[in-house]
Amino acid sequence: MLGFKGAGALGKRKGSDMGKEGMGEKPKYKRPAADTTGKGFSSNRKFLPKGLVILYEDRDILVVDKPAGLLTVATKTEKLRTLHFVLTDYIRKGSAKSRKEVYVVHRLDQQTSGVLIFAKTETAKLTLQGRWPETAKEYLAVVHGRLAERSGTIRSYLTENKASQVVYATTDTTTGKLSHTAYKVLRETKGFSLLEIHPLTGRKNQIRVHLADIGHPVVGDRKYGKGNEHYARMALHARSIAFNHPFNGKRLFFEADVPEYFDKFVGRIDREKQKYREKRSDQQNADAFSDLDGGSIGKAERVSAKISKGLAQIQK
C-alpha cells in the first residue's frame, strides 16, 4: 500500500461521485474569480504519499497514475485509504481550515492501475463529464488463453445485481445497457495474451465482464475470473487517456507507465516506444498549454520513483 500520513486535515467527509449530472449538455466553463491569477494550484509534493505519481496539474485539473490496490473513492468499509481522500489532503496542504475540494470525474476499479482525471472545481468536473463521449481511453490487459480472433469488438447488454454488485450480460434490453469493447491482440505466450483495449462505452466493470464472457478473463480478476487464482494484483492497466481541457478546450494526452508486473506473463514490454510516446505527448501538451498560466507538465514534476514497501509488493 501507499505510505499514508493518516487522516490529515480531512476528518470525516463524503466521497465525490460521478453521478449522472453533466452527461448531457456541455456546460460553458467559467473559472472562479479566486483562480484568475493562475496560482490556484499546489506544486508542493510534501502531502503526497510515496509512490503516487501526478502526471499533470493546473488550476482546473489533476491527472494521476493510480496504483493498483488503491480505491478511487470511499466505500462503506474504507473511508481514508482512497485516492480522492489523499488528493484532497494534498490540495489542502494539510490545513484543517482549507475548503478546497477535488471532484471525481471518472473511476478505476481498486485493482486497476493507470491514468485517472480529477477536477479542482465542480464546474470543471461537469464540463469534463459533459464532453465525456469525446474522451478516448486505452487499456492494456493480460488475459488467460489465446483468442480465436486477433481483433474485434465485444457487444452485449450489461446490467448489475445490486445485492451482489456483480455485473453480467443480459438479453433483456429494457434492463441492460448496450456496451461495446474493442480489443487487439498485441502478444501471445504460453497460456496468456496481452491485449490493447478501447472501451467504446463506459459501464461498470465492462472490460472485465466482456473478457470473462468470451472465455478469456483478466489475470488476477477474483470477481469475474478464475476463483482459485492467487496473483498479487489484477493485470488491467489504464495506459492512456485523451480529452479536451475544460477551460480552453484543447486536446490533451497522458500516458502511464506499464507496470513491470505484466512482464511476468507476456515477456518484457517495449518501454522505449512508450518513452518516445510520452516525450511526444508532453510536447503536444506543452503546446496546447502555451496560452495558460501556471500549467505544469507531469514528467518534470513527478514525485520520487521510490515507492513504499506495500506498493512494491503489489508490483512484484
Q: Which of 35, 109, 221, 282 is catalytic?
A: 109
Q: What is the CB neighbour count within 10 angstroms for residue 152?
A: 14
Residues whose CB is less than 8 angstroms from the CB of residue 247 and which lie 6 or more positions away in sequence, other chains included: 29, 31, 60, 124, 292
Per DSSP, helices labelled H in 93-205 are 122-130
> How is residue 291 written as a grid cell?
496560452
60: annotated active-site residue: no
Q: What is the CB neighbour count within 10 angstroms for residue 20?
A: 8
- CA 202, 203, 204: angle at the middle one, nearest 5? 125
Between CA 237 and CA 274 the distance in angstroms is 14
Between CA 3 and CA 182 the distance in angstroms is 36
Return the SS3 of 184: strand
Where residue 152 falls (left for φ over 0; alpha for ψ -120 to 50; beta otherwise) is left
- CA 89, 104, 276: angle at the middle one, nearest 5? 90
Between CA 104 and CA 290 the distance in angstroms is 26
Between CA 82 and CA 93 the distance in angstroms is 17
- Please list the residues that pair with 240 across neighbouring strands: 138, 255
Inter-residue contact 108 to 147 (CB < 8 Å): no
- Please list the residues that pair with 116 across neighbouring strands: 64
Catalytic residues: 109
